[in-house]
Amino acid sequence: MDHEAPTTRRDFFRLASVLGAGLALSACMPKEGVGGAKALAASEAPVKADVEEVLPVEDLMREHGILRRILLIYREAEKRLFASQDVDPKILTGSAEIIRRFIEEYHEKLEEDYLFPHFERAGKLTDLVKVLKQQHEGGRRLTAEILAQATKAARVSEARRSLADALHAFVRMYEPHAAREDTVLFPAFRSVVTPKEYDQYGDIFEDKEKALFGTNGFENMVSQVADLEKAMGLYELSQFTPR
C-alpha cells in the first residue's frame, strides 16, 4: 500500500527522526570482522536532520530577537537626536516598517489570535494578557508617530524632540514586554493547550510566515535588520564588549 508523502516541514522532521533512529540502531548491531568494528565506531557519530524543527514558542522567541535588534537601533537613534546629531531618516523608517509588518501585523497577531484566547478561556494569566494587549495598541500608536516624525526630524527641531520621545517610549515599553512574554507567557502556553494543538500551531505559524514573507521570511528579515545595523554603525558585536 502506498503511504502519503510528508506534506509539511514538520512531517518531514517526524519521518526523519524515525528513520534516523532506525539507522542508528542498525549501525549499532554487532557485526563480524574488522568491517563490523568500523560500523560500530561510525555509529557513535550523532545523526542529525538537515533542517531544524521550530516549535511555536521557539518561533515567537526568535521573532523577539528581531524586535530587540530594532530596539538597539531605536535607542542609539534616540541618543543621537537628544545630542543634536543627525540620524538618517531612512534607517528609522526602515526599522519602523519592519516593526509594523513583522512584529505588529504578524508576530503580535499570532499572539492575539492564538495565544491570548487560550489563556483567557483557561482563566490563567488574564491580568498579564490584558496588559500585553494594551501595550500592543500603544506600540502601534508609537510606530505611527515614529513614521510620521522620522522624515521631519532632519529639518524641524520640534519633530526631533517628538521623534526622540516616541523612540524612548517604545524601547521603555517593549523591553519589559518581550521579557515578560519570554519568561512567563510563552513557557505557560503548553499548560493551556493540548499536545495536538501545540503541534498544530507550529504548522500554522510556519504557514502564515511563509504566506506573508516567503519561504525564507525570517532569514530575509534578519538580513534586513543587519543592513540597518550596519548603516547605523551597530552591526559589529565586539563594540559592545566592555574594555
Task: Annotate the chain with DSSP letters as a single string.
Answer: -PPPPP-SHHHHHHHHHHHHHHHHHHHHS--SHHHHHHHHHHTTSPP--SS----HHHHHHHHHHHHHHHHHHHHHHHHHHHTT----HHHHHHHHHHIIIIIIIIIHHHIIIIIHHHHHHHT-SHHHHHHHHHHHHHHHHHHHHHHHHHTTTTT-HHHHHHHHHHHHHHHHHHHHHHHHIIIIIHHHGGGGS-HHHHHHHHHHHHHHHHHHH-TTHHHHHHHHHHHHHHHHT---GGGGS--
Total domain count for the chain?
Answer: 2
Residues 116 and 158 in one domain: yes
Residues 151 and 80 in one domain: yes
Over range 158-179, report the average pLDDT.
96
Residue 155: pLDDT band with limits 50, 70, 90: confident
Residues 22 and 63 in one domain: no
Residues 27 and 70 in one domain: no
Has residue 46 been placed in a domain? no
Over range 12-20, report the average pLDDT.
46
Residues 142 and 117 in one domain: yes
Residues 176 and 144 in one domain: yes
Has residue 18 been placed in a domain? yes
Q: Which percentage of the chain shows pLDDT scores above 90?
A: 73
Q: What is the residue range of 21's domain?
A: 9-41
Residues 212 and 127 in one domain: yes
Residues 201 and 143 in one domain: yes
Has residue 180 been placed in a domain? yes
- Block residue for cell numbers 493547550: 193
pLDDT tens sequence across 41-84: 444 444 444 456 779 999 999 999 999 999 999 999 999 999 99
Residues 121 and 214 in one domain: yes
pLDDT at 145 over 80: yes
Residue 133 contacts residue 180 (beta carbons within 8 Å): no
Residue 146 contacts residue 174 (beta carbons within 8 Å): no
Average pLDDT, the chain: 85
Has residue 3 been placed in a domain? no
Task: Say how far apart CA 141 and CA 132 lie, in whole Å.
Answer: 14
List the one residue out of 98, 81, 68 whose CA is nearest residue 234: 68
Q: Give the CATH number for residue 154.
A: 1.20.120.520
Has residue 192 been placed in a domain? yes
Cα 180–chain centre separation:
15
Has residue 61 been placed in a domain? yes
Has residue 51 been placed in a domain? no
CA dihedral over 174, 180, 183, 185, signed as positive or negative: negative
Has residue 206 been placed in a domain? yes
Residue 148: pLDDT band with limits 50, 70, 90: very high
Residues 18 and 129 in one domain: no
Residues 217-237 as b/e (b if ≥16 CB within 10 A, e otherwise) read bbeebeebbeebbeebebeee
pTM of the predicted protein model: 0.79
